[in-house]
Structure 1
Amino acid sequence: MKIVGVAACTVGIAHTYIAQEKLENAAKKAGHEMKVETQGTIGIENELTQAEIDQADIVILAIDVKISGRERFEGKRVIQVPTEVAVKSPNKLIEKAQEVVAQKV
């Protein structure tokens, strides 16, 4: 499964990058590909390409603030959670993503 995501916390420092790392590690552990874009105090890093978004089975938004470029994900299945969920329960979040993708109609 291919997963893309965005991490952005209110301050745009610690939780943004912790969420990115935890999600990418949990996805890898579950055998999935994941790329997480961060939107923090220094702007957008690890920016997702439109091709990566188009190829993704699901989008995970671990965000506490409004993000720029959200319209890029229109038409995709999206799970949105606070960054705290991505930090504390990344494996459960990846499992939830698998369930959502499995329900494909």
Structure 2
Amino acid sequence: MKIVGVAACAAGIAHTYIAKEKLVKAAENAGHKIHVETQGIIGIKDELKEKDIKDADVVIIAADIKINGIERFKDKKRVEVPTDTVIKSPNKFIKKIESII
């Protein structure tokens, strides 16, 4: 499965990057390709390209705040969760995504 995502927390520091790290590790361990953009205090990093979004099977928004550019995902299957969900149970979360896609 090809996954793209955005991680963002209220402060834009710790949870943003921890969520990205946990999500990437869990998805790759399950054999999926993943690219996660972060939106934090230092701006947007690892920005998703239009082709990445187009080719994705699912979009994961792991965010505690409203993210910038949500309209990019209007025609995609999208799962939105708080960053804590991805941080606390990343493997379980990826299994859940597999079951619904």
Establish whether TM, by shorter chain, passes 0.5. yes
Q: % of aligned pairs identical?
A: 58
Give the letter aligned to residue 79 of structure 1. Answer: V
Alpha-carbon displacement from aligned partner over 1:53-92 (angstroms, at most 9, x marks no partner): 0000001100000110000001111110000001001111
Runs of 4+, deviation exceeding 3 Å: none
1:64 matched to 2:64: yes
Distance (Å, rounded) in 2 between the aligned partners of 1:85 and 1:76: 21
Counterpart of 2:78? 78
Q: C-alpha separation between the residues in 1 aligned to 2:61 and 2:96?
A: 13
Displacement of 1:52:
0.1
> How far apart are the structure 2 equivalents of 1:91 and 1:69?
27
Aligned residues between the structures: 101
Instruction: Find the aligned partners of 1:95 and 1:51 in 2 and give their Cα distance.
Output: 25
Note the residue ranges of structure 2 that are not aligned, 5 or more in a row.
Answer: none
One-letter amino acid of the counterpart of residue 28, structure 1? E
C-alpha separation between the residues in 1 aligned to 2:58 and 2:73? 9
Q: Which residue of 2 aligns with 1:15?
A: 15
Report deviation, 1:10.
0.6
Q: How far, CA to CA, are the matches of 1:42 and 1:7 in structure 2?
A: 13
Per the normalisation by structure 1, the TM-score is 0.94
Residue type of the alignment partner of 1:43: G
Partners of 1:63 and 1:17 in 2: how far apart?
Answer: 11
Match for 1:18: what amino acid? I
Listed as ranges, the gaps of 5+ residues in structure 1 are none
